[in-house]
Amino acid sequence: MPVQKSIKASLALSASIIALPLGLSLGVSSAAQAQEVSDEIIVTATRRAESIQDIPLNISALGGEEIAKQGLDDLSELAAFVPGLNIADQGGRDGNRIVVRGLNVENIAQNFGQANGGGTVATYVGEIPAYVDLRLNDLERVEVLLGPQGTLYGSGTMGGAIRYIPNKPDFDGDMMELRADAYSYSEGDGISSDIGITANAAISDNFAIRASMDLQNDKGFIDYPYVVARPGFSEPDPDFTDPTALAGFNALEDANTEDIWSGRVAARWQPSNSLDATLTYYFQNGDFGGRNTTSFRNTTVPSGRYEYAARVPEPAERNDELLALEIVADLGFAELTSASGIGGTEFNGQRDQTDLLITLEYYYEFYPTFTGFTFEDEKTEIINQELRLVSTSDGPLSWIVGGFYNENEFTGLSTEFTPGIGAFNADFGFRQDLNDLEYFATSWTNLEEKALFGEVGYDVSEAWNVTVGARYYDYVFETADQTEFPYFTTAADFPGPYTRADIKNQLTLAENQSFDDFLFKVNTSYDFGDHNIYATFSQGFRVGASNAGDPCPDVFVPGNQALCLLAPGQQFGPGANDIAVINERDYLPDTVDNYELGAKTTWLDGALKLNAAVFFMDWKDPQVGTISVNAGTSITVNAGAAESKGVELSADWDLTDRFNLRGSFSHTKAELTEGVDSLVTTIVTTGGFGTDFENGEAGDRLPGSPETQFSVLGSYSHPLTNGDNIFVDAGYSWQGNVLQTVGQRGGSIVLPSFGRANAAIGYERDNWSIVGYVDNIFDDFAETSAFSNPRFSQTIEGANVRYFRTNVLAPRTIGARMKYRFD
């Protein structure tokens, strides 16, 4: 469906609903007005406004006031408050990898192609499913739902769902808030800043506008000491012990800069007590100077803990935007909600590709000054429409019914250059007319998903409730791609590259796969007054897709430079390497069944809240990240089965009126229960690289998240006689070690455990506050994820392979932030 037509149809459908309830006089349900009451957060995760402590589900939430007070900037900083949630923070350029309850079997630093946060956890901006690492400014709250949410939230919620809930425009009056933050890293130079403004204008009693804008300028802390002066001509691998040789590099200091301009503008209209409509435009534009990564563990090039041995700069730009229309109408017997959204993400950037090309051992390593780099240009467009009815009448029976439509279209282009090597190999017939273009690949995919869903709840008694739910989904996935190695083509076969905007004129979509199925949920809970116990069975799924690349020929000769993917059972290579591999071309949907027992309890007249959950998750056909046999490209395949089981605990205790103590703990054991044949890894052998095959076996630990993690936060408030307030916050979070990849017992590394301590002291008045803070007090070095493995660290024909690297968190950070509000 063309984007423009889908937008018009989606918005027209929502707009048509406005006319339905204009004559109704009943008040809009509180589900449209969820808010933080005292210190208790009201959430709408179940599509009804309820106290978080009353919902018989494992859900965590943090209110906007607490987010602002703690100075939380993004989702990775919020994760310490949520048991069972782990986020591999890879910096603004490469994004976060979100893992809930250990549901992850891909390379946790995989960052090519569409950004999706890891695929097993969906993020929602308001009511719209859209992956964006949203800046946490001017939010009412953030909700984190743990466990599969397939019935109400659909695809990609096998592990859970994260909902960013913004503050809506307020009819009660005008307001303006100014905020500023200045901070400095112990390993970087300069003062970073983050400034913002929020304004609310009540135009009339039923119309208001709210706008929020923020600009972050982060000075960075990662150095690129080995950037060559001229790729393909400058020596990238001199004698690193000779200071004169190092003078040939254009070193970049504090290269991982971030300039992020974000905000939103919302208009809210309530023409009657029965109708409430909000139109919101969100945007977030980021310019990134480099990666938050280090070559500290790589033995081929001397590097410090905050140094990365890239040969070329790796800037990138990511622009996110979303236009959302939410309409809530009270029909008397039920509340009707329409959520429409259109938006997308554009990403472009440059990366060092030298190491991959060297390890292929085609010919690149024989060029004495070889350096290769790749440009990526990608765009994702989404269209979303959901309609749902939520019953509002009193009585033992309650229900939800709805329909869902989502379209996700992706176009991507990868252009790889190897300066100088064309002329170096001219005698071998290399083309000389394409400016050293070595590799050109395009991809176009379109995913269309439709669903019908519903839940029915029944109060068997005043204390006992039973809820059942189901979702029917149907999706179609279409693909088209093209791969060229220009050095070996003719002008007739490949005239030259084209832009991403031309992809739809060059390729034709074809159906790749189509699936439909049902998901189910059963929940029962019993309320003992101050305590609530519950049991849940829930299901979740994630759509399948295809790996980009052409099918391999029936008779395939290894060593030829031809990116191709093997069919199930297709043989690769003669002799000892003759092995039948699993399907490299397509991977199917994976599903999870979740069994959970939980308790939400309140003690000491409400001063102490203790919540606990134990779970078992049965994961079928998990999608596993690996690389293809030929050319070593990143692909996804299906394994047999996996499981995750564990316990999650959280506590919130008001020891006194002034002192609050919070904590969380989780322990998760996630592992394969069935093997997966022929996970492929390029393993270092003596004097070169060879292709090896390692099977994932039952009992192998799943990668990407720690088995154990905990956090504790204390907050003390001291009121002054003049009405002002001084507060002190201090917290510590710790996570255990993390396995990098699955099925590579000899090649995967284990990233060590680490802890982070933070502290802040602040002064508050009615309309302003100022806070001084220190993050990572003890300046601990923390690695969150890894790319490749240490067996790549060797020298081939004088070329140092620097593929292996780890992503790191920021060093000690000292700063101050302030806020001033005008009413």
The pLDDT of residue 743 is 63
Taking CA 747 as the corner, what is the angle to CA 746 and CA 748, rounded to the nearest 5 degrees? 110
Confidence (pLDDT) at 49: 86
Residues 686-691 have a mean pLDDT of 52
Q: What is the pLDDT of residue 575?
A: 39
pLDDT, tens digit, 9 for 90 and up, residues 323-337: 999 999 999 999 999
- Average pLDDT rounded to a whole number, residues 169-189: 96
Kindly report, residue by residue over 563-617, the tens digit of the pLDDT.
677 777 666 554 334 455 567 788 888 999 999 999 999 999 999 999 999 999 9
pLDDT of 48:
85
Looking at residue 110, its pLDDT comes to: 38
- β-bridge partners, 751: 738
d(CA 723, CA 719): 7
Among the listed ranges 192-206, 413-427, 573-587, 782-796, which one has the minimum average pLDDT value?
A: 573-587
Per-residue model confidence (pLDDT) at position 33: 35
Within 8 A by CB and 6+ apart from 765, the residues are: 723, 724, 725
Question: If we measure between CA atoms, which residue out of 741, 806, 748 comes closest to residue 309?
Answer: 806
Q: Which one-letter amino acid corresponds to residue 325? A: L
Q: What is the dihedral of CA 265, 269, 270, 274, to 10 degrees?
A: -90
Count of Cβ atoms closer than 10 Å to residue 337 Cβ? 24
Does pLDDT of 39 surpass 90? no
Residue 334 neighbours by CB under 8 Å, 6+ apart: 389, 390, 391, 392, 393
Query: Which pLDDT belongs to residue 363?
Result: 83
Confidence of residue 798 (pLDDT cuts 50, 70, 90): confident
Q: CA-CA distance, 587 to 599, in Å (whole number)?
A: 38
Q: What does the alpha-carbon distance between residue 596 and residue 613 come to, in Å, rounded to a whole number? A: 7
The tens digit of pLDDT for each residue in 74-127 reads 888 888 778 988 888 888 898 888 888 988 876 433 333 344 545 788 899 999
Closest CA to 480 of 506, 517, 454, 514: 506
More reliable by pLDDT, 542 or 217: 217
Using 50, 70 and 90 to split pLDDT, how confident is the model at 774? very high
Q: How far apart are CA 811 and CA 589, in angstroms?
A: 40
| pLDDT category of residue 35 using cuts at 50, 70 and 90 | very low
Q: What pLDDT score was predicted for residue 522? A: 97
- Please give the Cα distance from 717 to 696 (Å, whole number): 52
pTM: 0.89
8 A C-beta contact, residue 564 and residue 552:
yes
CA separation for the pair 50, 125 (Å, rounded): 20
Residues 477-506, mean pLDDT to the nearest whole number: 91
pLDDT at site 126: 93
Residue 691: per-residue pLDDT: 52
What is the pLDDT, as a whole number, of residue 560? Answer: 53
Q: What are phi and psi of 5, to 5 degrees?
A: -65, -40
794 vs 782 pLDDT, higher one: 782
The better pLDDT of the pair 495, 111 is held by 495
pLDDT grade for 631, boundaries at 50, 70 and 90: low
The pLDDT score that the predictor gives to residue 787 is 84
The predicted pLDDT at position 335 comes to 96
Cα–chain-centroid distance for residue 63? 21
